[in-house]
């Protein structure tokens, strides 16, 4: 590289990046990363994942040009903890962010800090939701807390400013503005975090009437009445209809409807607004992809589309997330990186949100710090999964019976075929506990015979041997990640 084009500082910067890149595959530069994360976007509302209820042509462009992960799972399915796990590469019990009420310690190491040290310029735009202000970013412009959809306030490097417009469009505007003015000599790591499609599912005015006059297909288990499930699961308050308010459906709930009839009615209002919000997310993913194409950046940029967790879209009659059930546990994860990842591929390996940071660091030629518990899945993305890749995963939700949805705290193990969940009730002094104890309960599901998780097999004598095996595996994983049994 001819040094005459660079001043000394730039030269050292380039050499630092080159040294870091030396750890990467030969001949590959440090790639840019554009990481787009929605909030509560379930994979079954993405065409590339087989959605029956909407179309996402722009998100699908990433799937067509790259790889779709079919078994990407969250380690604690709720906003703040998942965001902390993604950044730090650590489970909640290691990074200290167990519940919606916990803050990310600004001094804690995370992926953006590591990449900044390796020569990247870093930006965080949109929903942060980790209580403390971001650290490790050259630029940050975030929503305060949850933020709002219409004319939102943003905190730009500490300064509050109200903007006119729709949140999803604005977050994309700010991302594009930053990309346009960035230092083009350095690789970038840009986090574009949407608020959408989080509750209260307020659509952009231009999409207020999208789906009017249509009937959105119902999930086959919309009228689940939880027979055989853990009693604490049957009691959770996230039923479409009965556990909604007038903000959710944008009108008073009809007094003459109850139970299944109310569920049927509310589902259409709920799902249409949810999908309208996604329509704006998809449009704005298209704007970012078009920018990368127009600037000739697509080839050198890893672009990811994901969500902080999944969501129940009327599945089991529910909205929201938190539970270890599939629709909540599964994160959509699509990634395109031309040249390294073959277009239109699919991986069914078990990948976790704590693996994201090590994967980005791997591509940047940075060694994963010892405290990160995740593992790079770069090889998996590129079609040659390590033979010793994990075949089971550990999950833990800590926010016991919090007053909004009354979901019990639980932990569990998921393998490719089975899932064992333990709702442990309330031990003394448990983080997030604010209600009386509940009786410990178990659930077992066969994901191949019963992918919709309708039949709890835990008490079936035929499954005794499997229960023992999975209970041991759960204990092994818990020990491996250094968590403490309840």
Q: Which is nearer to Ca ion, 32 or 92 (CB)?
A: 92
Q: Which helix (H) or strand (E) holds 479?
A: helix 464-480
Nearer to Ca ion, 337 or 395 (CB): 395
Pick the piece of the chain touching Ca ion (CB under 5 A) from 36-44, 105-113, 161-169, 476-484: 36-44
CA distances from 386 to 178, 378, 381, 390, 414 (A): 37, 10, 11, 9, 19
- With CB under 5 A as the contact rule, which of the stretches 167-175, 302-310, 383-391, 420-428 interacts with Ca ion? 302-310
In the complex with Ca ion, the residue whose CB is nearer, 56 or 328, is: 328
Least Cα distance to 243 among 79, 404, 399 occurs for: 404
Measured distance CA(51)–CA(217) in Å, rounded: 10
Our finding on whether 327 is near Ca ion (CB under 5 A) is no
Binder to Ca ion among 40, 202, 218, 243 (CB under 5 A)? 40
Q: 116, 92, 120: which is closest to 104 by C-alpha? A: 92
Q: Which of 51-59, 77-85, 235-243, 442-450 is the region at the interface with Ca ion (rule: CB under 5 A)?
A: 77-85
Q: Is 320 in the site for Ca ion (CB under 5 A)?
A: no
| Alpha helices (H) along 22-77 | 57-65
Binding-site string for Ca ion from residue 132 to residue 171, where x marks contact by CB under 5 A and - marks none: ----------------------------------------
HSE, side-chain direction, 13 A CA sphere, residue 20: 26
SS3 325: coil
Nearest one of 82, 36, 143 to 321, comparing CA atoms: 82
**39 vs 138 by CB, closer to Ca ion:** 39
Alpha-carbon gap, residue 147 to 125, rounded angstroms? 12
Beta strands (DSSP E) in 266-397 are: 301-307, 333-336, 345-347, 351-352, 392-397
Contact stretch for Ca ion (CB under 5 A) within 39-47, 155-163, 187-195, 200-208: 39-47
CB of 78 to Ca ion, least distance (A): 7
- For residues 317 and 224, the answer to whether their CB atoms sit within 8 Å is yes
**Distances in whole angstroms, Cα of residue 137 to Cα of each of 96, 125, 223:** 21, 10, 46
Residue 79 binds Ca ion, judged by CB under 5 A:
yes
Q: Closest by alpha carbon to 96, among 333, 371, 473?
A: 371
CB of 10 to Ca ion, least distance (A): 40
User: Site residues for Ca ion, window 453-472 (CB under 5 A)?
Assistant: none
Q: What is the DSSP letter of 166?
A: B
39 or 282, CB closer to Ca ion?
A: 39
Phi, psi of 241 (to 5 degrees): 95, -85
Q: Which is nearer to Ca ion, 276 or 322 (CB)?
A: 322
The strand pairing partners of 189, in sequence order, are 33, 122
Q: Residues touching Ca ion: how many (CB under 5 A)? A: 4
Q: Which of positions 354-413 make contact with Ca ion (CB under 5 A)?
A: none
Nearer to Ca ion, 282 or 308 (CB): 308
Q: Sign of dihedral through CA atoms 400, 390, 37, 285?
A: negative
40 vs 327, which CB is nearer to Ca ion? 40
Which position's Cβ is nearest Ca ion? Answer: 79
In the set 30, 34, 39, 71, which binds Ca ion (CB under 5 A)? 39
The residue from 102, 114, 248, 308 that contacts Ca ion (CB under 5 A) is: 308
Comparing C-alpha atoms, which of 402, 338, 313 is closest to residue 80?
402
> Burial of 282 by CB count in 10 Å (0-12 exposed, 13-18 middle, 19+ buried)?
buried
Q: How far is the CB of 305 from Ca ion (least distance, A)?
A: 15
Closest approach of Cβ 342 to Ca ion, in Å?
Answer: 30
How many CB atoms are closer than 10 A to CB 147?
22
Closer residue to Ca ion (CB): 20 or 85: 85
CB 133 within 8 A of CB 147: no
Q: With CB under 5 A as the contact rule, which of the stretches 202-210, 272-280, 307-315, 429-437 interacts with Ca ion?
A: 307-315
Q: Which is nearer to Ca ion, 79 or 393 (CB)?
A: 79
Q: How far is the CB of 466 from Ca ion (least distance, A)?
A: 32
* Contacts with Ca ion, residue ranges (CB under 5 A): 39-40, 79, 308
């Amino acid at each position: 590289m001819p040094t005459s084009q660079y001043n000394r500082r730039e030269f050292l910067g380039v050499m630092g990046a080159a040294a870091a890149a030396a750890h990467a595959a030969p001949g590959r530069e440090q790639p840019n990363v554009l990481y787009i994360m929605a909030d509560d976007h379930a994979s079954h509302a993405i065409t590339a994942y087989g959605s029956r209820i909407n179309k996402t042509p722009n998100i699908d462009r990433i799937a067509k040009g790259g790889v779709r992960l079919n078994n990407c799972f969250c380690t604690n399915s709720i906003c703040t903890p998942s965001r902390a796990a993604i950044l730090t590469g650590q489970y909640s019990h290691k990074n200290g962010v167990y519940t919606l009420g916990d803050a990310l310690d600004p001094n804690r190491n995370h992926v953006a800090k590591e990449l900044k040290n390796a020569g990247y310029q870093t930006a965080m735009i949109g929903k942060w939701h980790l209580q403390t202000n971001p650290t490790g970013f050259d630029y940050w412009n975030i929503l305060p807390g949850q933020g709002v959809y219409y004319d939102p306030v943003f905190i730009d490097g500490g300064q509050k400013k109200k903007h006119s417009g729709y949140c999803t469009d604005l977050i994309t505007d700010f991302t594009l503005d930053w990309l346009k003015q960035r230092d083009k000599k350095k690789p970038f790591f840009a986090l574009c975090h949407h608020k959408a499609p989080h509750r209260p599912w307020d659509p952009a005015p231009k999409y207020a009437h999208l789906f009017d006059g249509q009937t959105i297909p119902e999930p086959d288990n919309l009228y689940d009445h939880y027979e055989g499930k853990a009693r604490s699961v049957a009691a959770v308050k996230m039923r479409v209809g009965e556990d909604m308010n007038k903000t959710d459906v944008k009108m008073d709930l009809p007094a003459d409807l109850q139970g299944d009839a109310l569920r049927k009615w509310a589902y259409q209002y709920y799902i249409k607004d949810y999908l309208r919000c996604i329509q704006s997310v998809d449009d704005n993913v298209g704007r970012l992809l078009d920018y990368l194409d127009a600037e000739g950046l697509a080839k050198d940029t890893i672009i990811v589309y994901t969500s902080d967790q999944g969501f129940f879209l009327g599945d089991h009659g529910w909205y929201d997330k938190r539970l270890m059930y599939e629709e909540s546990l599964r994160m959509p994860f699509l990634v395109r990186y031309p040249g390294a990842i073959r277009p239109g591929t699919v991986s069914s390996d078990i990948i976790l949100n704590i693996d994201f940071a090590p994967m980005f660091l791997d591509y940047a030629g940075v060694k994963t710090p010892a405290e990160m518990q995740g593992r790079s899945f770069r090889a998996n993305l590129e079609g040659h999964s390590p033979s010793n890749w994990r075949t089971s995963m550990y999950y833990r939700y800590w926010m016991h019976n919090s007053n909004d949805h009354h979901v019990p705290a639980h932990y569990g193990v998921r393998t490719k075929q089975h899932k064992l969940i333990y709702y442990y009730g309330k031990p003394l002094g448990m983080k997030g506990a604010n209600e009386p104890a509940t009786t410990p309960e178990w659930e077992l599901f066969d994901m191949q015979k019963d992918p919709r998780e309708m039949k709890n097999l835990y008490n079936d004598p035929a499954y005794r041997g499997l229960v023992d095996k999975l209970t041991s595996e759960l204990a092994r994983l818990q020990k491996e990640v250094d968590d403490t049994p309840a």
